[in-house]
Structure 1
Amino acid sequence: MRTLILSRLSQLVLVLLAVTFLSFSAMNVLGDPLFNIIGPLAELDCDAVARGEIGSTSSSLDATRTDCEIVAEVKAEFRLDEPLLKRYVLWLGDSVRGDFGTSFASEGVPVSEILKNKLPASIKLMIYAEVIALSLAIPLGVYGAYRANRRADRVLSVVSFGALAIPNFALGVVLLYVFALKTGVFPSSYDKSSVWSEVKSLFLPAFTLGSGLAAGYQRLLRTDLVTTLQEDFVHMARAKGMTDRHIMFRHALRPSLFSVITVFGVQTGALIGGSLVVEQIFLIPGVGRELVTAVVRDDFPVVLAGVTVIATAFVVINFAVDLLYGWLDPRVRAQ
C-alpha cells in the first residue's frame, strides 16, 4: 500500500507540473500579457525613446508619469522582462503559497480572492451532481441486475442510453425552460439567501450534470452485478437458503462496485467540463463561469489559476479513488 501511495503521489506532482507549465507557456506565447494589461501602450518602443529617436510624452493613463515609465512598472510588477522558464518557476512558487497574482481585467483584485468567492458554488454543484448520480445509479443498477433481460431491464437500458446521448447543454436548456421559466417550479438562477433556496436553485443544474453520470454508473453496476451473480459463491449462498435480497446487498454489491469506483475518478473530468457550460446556462457564479469569462477577456492570471485549481481537483480525486480501490481490494493491499 505504501508503494501505491508513493507511486500515485509522484504521478500527481508530475501531472500538475506538466499541466501548469503547458498552460503558463500557452498563455505567454499565444498572447501578449502586456497588451492585455495596458492596451495599445504596450506597442510603444521604449528602447527608441531611450535612444532619443522618439519623443517621450506624459502617459494618458497617469499624467505624472511618462508612457515608458508605465510600461516599465507593469513589466516589473508582472515580471515580463524575465525569461519564460524563470517566470514560470516564480509563478509556481507564489501559487504554492496561494498567491496567483492580480487580475488583469479587475485591476488590483487578487486572483485568490476571486477563486475564494467562486469555488464554494462550484464545489456544491459537483457534490450535488454526484449525490444525484449515485442515488439514481445504485438502486437502478441493482434493480436492472435483479430483473436482467426482462422488460424492466430493457426499459432501463433504453433510458440510460438516452441519458448518455443527450448533451449537458441541451438538457440544461430544456430543464431551465420547462421547470424554471415556464412553470416556475425551480428558480432560474442561483440563490443562496437560505439553505433551502440554495438547494432548490442547484437542483436543475445538478440534475443536468448528474443524469449522464447516473446512466453510466447504472450500466456499469448492472453489468458487473449480473456477472457477480453467476459466481460460485453466490450459488453456494443460494444453496444455504439465503434470500436474494441478502445475497445482493451483503455479498454481490460490494465487489460489483469496483468498476464504478474506478470510473468515478475519470468521470470527474467530464463533470468539471460539463460545469463550465451548466454554470453559464443557470447563471451560477462558480469557477467554470469565471473561467469562461476570463478566457473571453484574456485575463491570463485568472485563467491560469482556474486551470490549476481544476487540474489539482482532478488529480487529487483520482488519487483518492486509487487509494480507496486499493483499500477495498485485498489483492492490491497485499501487493
Structure 2
Amino acid sequence: MARYVVRRVVLLVAVLFAVTFLGFSAMNLLGDPLVNVVGVLAELDCEGIEAGLVEDTTVDAASRDCDTVAAARDQYHLDQPVPVRYVLWVGDLITGDFGTSFQNDQPVSQVIREKLPETLILLTMAQIVSLGVAIPWGVIAAYRANRAFDRGSTVASFGLLSVPNFALGVVLLYLLALRWQVFPSAYESDNLGALVFSMVLPAVTLGLPLAASYQRLLRTDLITTLQEDFVHMARAKGLPPLRIMFRHALRPSMFSVVTVFGVSTGALIGGSLVVEQIFGIPGIGREIVTAVVRDD
C-alpha cells in the first residue's frame, strides 16, 4: 500500500511539473513580454547604444530608455536564466501571485475576481439547461427504446454533439435574438433579472451539446435498469409506469451522468471562451481571449 501511494504521489508531481513547464514554455513562445512595457524597439535600441551604433539622444526616454529596460527586466525576472524564471513563476503561482496585467496595470488576481462571477453564472445555467433537457429526453427515449422517437433522438443527439459551439451560438443569436427578438442579443447587467435573461441564449448554446451527451448515457443506463428484477417486481405489483420510471429506475441510472458531470465542467469552461466572445459576456473566457490577442 505504501509503495502504491508513493508511486501515485511521484506520478502526480511529474504530471504537475509537465503541465506547469508546458504552460510556462507556451507563454515564452508568444515573444518578449518586455515590448508590452517599454516599447517594441526597446531591446534593439539598447543593443545599439551599447555597441556605439546609436546615439543616446535619439532614444525616446519615455519608452526606450536603457535604464527603464533594465528596471523592467529586473522587475519581471527577465534577466534571470530560464530555469530560475520557471522556479520563480511556480512559486508565485503557489502563493497566489499571478502577476500584473500589462494592458490595464491591474493584478491578474483582481481581474479574475472581477470577471469570475459572470462566468460562474453562465456555467451554472448551462448545467441547469443540460440536465433539464437531458433527464426527460433520456427517460422518454429509454421508455420508447428502438421506436421512432428513440431513433430520432439518436440522430438529434449526435447532431448536437457534432455542431461546434460557435456555429450553434451564431444560429441561436440570429434566430432568437436578431430575427424573432425573443432574447436580448447582448449582455445586460442592469439588474439580476436582466443579467440572467441575457444569459439564457449563451447557456443554451453551451448546454444543448452537453444535454445530448447526458441523454445518451442516461438512456443506455435506464434501458439496462428497466431489465432488473426489482423493476419487474414493481410492474407485477401494478405500479404506474411513470412511478416505476421516476421513483425506482431513474435514481440508479444517474451514476454515469453524475460521474461525467464533474468532467464536463472543464469542457464548459473551454466552450465559454468562444461563447462569451459571441454574446459579449465580460467573463473569464473573453478576458483570456483578449489577453492572448494582446500578448498580455
Q: Is the 8 A contact 2:169 2:278 kept in 1?
A: yes
Note the alpha carbon deviations across 1:61-84, whole angstroms, 9 max, x for none. Answer: 439xx7210110000110101122
**Equivalence for 2:246:** 249
Question: Partners in 2 of 1:268 and 1:5 — Cα distance?
Answer: 28
The structural deviation recorded for 1:189 is: 1.0
Q: Is the 8 A contact 1:276 1:289 kept in 2?
A: yes
Question: Partners in 2 of 1:8 and 1:262 — Cα distance?
Answer: 22
**Equivalence for 2:24:** 24
Any residues of structure 2 matched to 1:84-99 within 5 Å, and which? 84-99=82-97
Establish whether residue 224 from structure 1 lines up as the match of residue 221 from structure 2. yes
User: Secondary structure of 1:298's partner?
Assistant: coil
Q: Is the 8 A contact 1:57 1:67 kept in 2?
A: no
Q: Is the 8 A contact 2:45 2:54 kept in 1?
A: no
Relative contact order, CA 8 A, sep 6+: which one is greater? 1
Question: Partners in 1 of 2:235 and 2:9 — Cα distance?
Answer: 43
User: Secondary structure of 1:112's partner?
Assistant: helix
Aligned residues between the structures: 292
The structural deviation recorded for 1:277 is: 0.9
Question: Partners in 2 of 1:211 and 1:223 — Cα distance?
Answer: 19
Alignment counterpart, residue 188 of structure 1, candidates 180, 185, 189: 185
Note the alpha carbon deviations across 1:148-175, whole angstroms, 9 max, x for none. Answer: 1223223322322222222211111111
Q: Is the 8 A contact 1:180 1:187 kept in 2?
A: yes
The structural deviation recorded for 1:51 is: 7.1
Note the alpha carbon deviations across 1:34-91, whole angstroms, 9 max, x for none. Answer: 2333221122345x7457675434752439xx72101100001101011222222222
Alignment counterpart, residue 137 of structure 1, candidates 128, 134, 138: 134
The structural deviation recorded for 1:137 is: 0.4
Mark the CA change 1:11 to 1:221 in structure 2 (over 3 Å): closer, same or farther.
farther
Deviates more, 1:176-185 or 1:190-199: 176-185
Q: Is the 8 A contact 1:225 1:253 kept in 2?
A: yes
Establish whether residue 68 from structure 1 lines up as the match of residue 69 from structure 2. no
Alignment counterpart, residue 210 of structure 1, candidates 207, 210, 213: 207
The structural deviation recorded for 1:103 is: 1.2
Mark the CA change 1:245 to 1:182 in structure 2 (over 3 Å): closer, same or farther.
closer
**Equivalence for 1:78:** 76
The structural deviation recorded for 1:246 is: 3.3
The structural deviation recorded for 1:293 is: 1.1
Any residues of structure 2 matched to 1:240-319 within 5 Å, and which? 240-299=237-296
Q: Is the 8 A contact 1:25 1:84 kept in 2?
A: no
Question: Partners in 1 of 2:74 and 2:21 — Cα distance?
Answer: 21
The structural deviation recorded for 1:178 is: 1.6
Question: Partners in 1 of 2:140 and 2:235 — Cα distance?
Answer: 18
Equivalent residue letter for 1:261? V
Question: Partners in 1 of 2:200 and 2:238 — Cα distance?
Answer: 43
TM-score, length-normalised on structure 2? Answer: 0.88
Establish whether residue 122 from structure 1 lines up as the match of residue 109 from structure 2. no
Give % identity: 59
**Equivalence for 2:36:** 36
Question: Partners in 2 of 1:7 and 1:202 — Cα distance?
Answer: 45
Equivalent residue letter for 1:40? L
User: Secondary structure of 2:41's partner?
Assistant: helix
Question: Partners in 2 of 1:8 and 1:180 — Cα distance?
Answer: 50
User: Secondary structure of 2:60's partner?
Assistant: coil
User: Secondary structure of 1:284's partner?
Assistant: coil
Runs of 5+ consecutive residues of structure 2 not aligned to the other structure: none
